[in-house]
Chains A and B, each alone.
Chain A
Amino acid sequence: MSNPVISRRTLLGGSAAAGAGLLSSLSYTPYWAAAQDRSSAVFSYHADPASLDPTTCSGTNCAYILNHIYEGLTRLDSDANVEPGLAESWENPDPLTWTFHLRPGVLFQNGAELTADDVKYSLDRVLDPATAGSNLAFFQAIESVEVVDPLTVTLHLSTPNVSILASMAVTGGSILNKAWAEEQLAGGAIDFTSVANGTGPYGLVEFVSGDRIDLVRHESYWDTGTPKIDDVTWKIMQEMETRVAALRARTASFATIDATAGLQVGSDNGITIHSGPGFSMPVSIHNVRKAPYDNPLVRQAIAVGVDRQAVIDKVLNGEGSLTGPLPTGFGNWYIPTDELPYTVDKDRAKELLAEAGYPDGFDTVILGLDTPPYDQVGVVYQAELQSIGINAKLEQTEFGAWLEKIHAFDYDTHVNGYGSVVDPEHVLGRSFRCGSDGNFPGFCNEEYDELLLQMQAESDLAAREQLTRQMQDILLEDAPFIWWCTAFDYYATTDQITGFERAIHPYPREVFKQVSVVEES
């Protein structure tokens, strides 16, 4: 790796040390990067992906890394509009038919050429209940996938769904190589912790869980000129302090950080903070199946009693905006902040609680997460509930235990977050449709589901925006969630690399595609 080499050179200087520097650098150099003219960079990331299976990948941690390895039929440009990905173009002759024309000459990292068979195989895998695809809800409208010719594939839908185009851009819709996957399956199941084969800009060299993921440039990547760095090491550093230290020591040239770390390293020489409104939203989710949260008055009391600005001020250093169910800044879909019904009124909250039969409040347990910023959101949430007379106890657990409890609906109210959204339907449908797998609160509203069906089928943008707004208004009124705010997101780069641009983007992107290493003078 060249990063230790750079620092060592700077440190030792002089030709006398060059011999020693070369020797030690050789001992650190992986076999695949033996050539000295290769460029490399270390990306320090905060969490391990659970697996490298794009179909079952859940959450941003695997999406970030997998979007460098795999691609879907479409992708999102930096303004979050759908643009061609592996499909060069598409037609929608009727509401139930979508025909995609594949980009010719696209190669997988193992050298195989992309064909319509690969697309059918991958989408069938998503739809197969046995796969337990994490984004299944986005693709459920697909009834069948038809291979027309090697470069044309047609999707037949069971219900009209215009969000299918955006769904193709999420990690769950990544295209695998059919022959490769079947070959891997011959040995039982595909061991996605050790193999990967996509069409994306980087190929997998090695995944050491909890430590690092080594990536190497896909030499025959179709989008010529990218990526620019030959070797990328995706280094897992869970602690913020470790990532900041790595940036300062220049053993990482890129890192995900947070608001607090941004304050700390902001003035450091040679480190640039890229921050701005993002799409991630800390939320609190009530279990509406369970008393007292089954009572809308209780939920409304909480909605009017908590001060959402407190999370922005105390957790995010003031860098965030109030938000409705869709992240503020997301296309034309979100509710403008001045139209949000968020007037904090603690007395009104207590009145509503009394009306609901809890004049003295009640005891409740907040299921919290122990990772930032959600741990801090939990602390503020607890204090906010206390302030309207609800005696809340905070129980913070690690992600695995937390997830288990949520899937078992074993909680009163919990702290969560979302933000990877490419189409409004992905949030509004998945999280709130009656009986949907991602419906954590257990929310069920007939009128809402009716609007959802219309919205899925509506191709007229203005009408779709109108329906989206109506649905959000129902959610705000019923208040199964507290949507705390839309947070800023933060990246830090060192002076070792250039070309990184933080896009205002609702979905993890192949952040390394445009980045290059600064030449040493």
Chain B
Amino acid sequence: MITKNDIDIFISKIPPAPKTLKDTFGLLQIGDLVKAAKLAESDLALKSYLKNLVNKPIYGFKNEVSDISQIFGILGVSLSQQAVYNYMTSLLSPDEWLLFKLNAASFYELQAQLSKKWEAILTYLKVEDKDIYAAISLLPSSIIVSEALFCKSIDDVTLLRTTKALDYNTILTRLCGIGLFDICEKIAHKWEMNEIIPQIIHSASGVRPSDDEEINKLGKWMHLLLFFELSQPQFIEAGLNDFVDFQVDYVSDIYDEFATLMEIK
């Protein structure tokens, strides 16, 4: 169905971060929002993506925000970096989704929902590290990886999953000895993301907790946030609810706080 060779080919095809983005990140790292915005303006695809993202209802702006310097100014350094990473992840998404019933709009919506709620969580946890803000951007890449690897074997996977409730991460791990989140880690390395980001993502998988308590805590919140989003009707209908296994016990100690924060009644 899928071999290690298929995974290697997929990873080899992931483009490195374009120079404009690298330079934008560099400027965002030193807090130079003005220069970063100026540079980002030159990348029309990035500009269009950012405009689309921040004008979604969840960002709550009354009037349309169209100017990049305005966008970066409103978002601040951490969220601007997060938004640019979201754009990079979106570059990996396919033109046409086959395995999951998604499209560009619904995928961007998922990114926006995760990003804004992750921001609320980090504010609640009093975390200010901008790399931790950016970590959420890598999470949806696990969906893109599943789509890319399994889209050619939809019939086989469907047949297999009518016999046994196996998630894509388990199938991939059992077949190739490498999981979805290991591939996300490779993407992070290729994009030269801070080391902490893949560590949080692994912890957020729910199947490979970290030895570092702080990373683990963030991983739990991210895992629960992911399934909160994947329980929304549009993502259930997209077939995402069970694309990876939800680890209820792993997140049980933070559930009450999460429910309060997300106003779940």
Q: Is this pair of chains taken from one and the same complex?
A: no
Q: Which B residues are within 8 Å of any A CB, using their own CB?
A: none
Q: Which A residues are within 8 Å of any B CB, using their own CB?
A: none
